[in-house]
Structure 1
Amino acid sequence: MNKAQFVEAVALDTNMTKVEARKVVDAMIRATVQTLRDGDRLVLSGLGSFSVQHKSERIGRNPRTGAAVK
């Protein structure tokens, strides 16, 4: 499901217009992104929990050239 299909599903389920549903979905995405940028964790019961995890760099390989890449 892509964003347009998600907006349509929300609109059908809530009896909103697609324009109103898109505003709701966009607001939800903005709030999620801002929460994660602030370093906080977002927990939506029944959906999942979202957080940013910082990991140390590792060495990978470019599959085309075989060169080492961080």
Structure 2
Amino acid sequence: MIRGKLTKAEIVESISESSGLSKKDIQHIIDSFFSEVKDALLDDRIVEFRGFGTFEIRTRKGRDRARNPKTGETVSVQNHGVVVFRPGKELKKASWDLRE
């Protein structure tokens, strides 16, 4: 069962309520955190959060015969980077029986 999405604003609100810190401080911390993760990935580093998962950039091979789904036109796609997430052992285990 999908229950909707969780936004950054909702995370800020929740952490602010549980920690007693201001929303502005929490917003700054979260923005700084995402900036650090993004910078590390763009610097070709693997970002690992034990128990949660690992983010990394992998190279996706280009193709000459890709198709634009909107127009059906054949286009050429170069090699490019994609961000990949691999869930950690604890997250995998916790989420195993969530959907049936």
* Larger RCO: 1 or 2 (CA < 8 Å, sep 6+): 2
User: When the two structures are aligned, how many residues end up with a matched partner?
Assistant: 70
Q: What TM-score results when the alignment is normalised by the length of structure 2?
A: 0.63
Give runs of ≥4 in structure 1 deviating > 4 Å: none
Structure 1 or 2: more strand by fraction: 2
Aligned-residue offset at 1:64: 3.2
Q: What TM-score results when the alignment is normalised by the length of structure 1?
A: 0.86
What amino acid sits opposite 2:8 in the alignment? K
Task: State the superposition RMSD in angstroms.
Answer: 1.3
Aligned-residue offset at 1:47: 2.0
Question: Does the alignment pair 1:66 with 2:38?
Answer: no
Structure 1 or 2: more helix by fraction: 1
* 3-state SS of 1:53 partner: strand
Alpha-carbon distance in structure 2 between the residues aligned to 1:10 and 1:45? 21
Of residues 35, 39, 42, the one that matches 1:37 is 42
The alignment-based identity, stated in percent, is 26
- Note the residue ranges of structure 2 that are not aligned, 5 or more in a row: 1-5, 78-100
After superposition, the C-alpha distances for 1:10-65 in whole angstroms (9 at most, x for unaligned) are: 21232211001001101100100010011000101232111001111123212232
Of residues 53, 60, 72, the one that matches 1:55 is 60
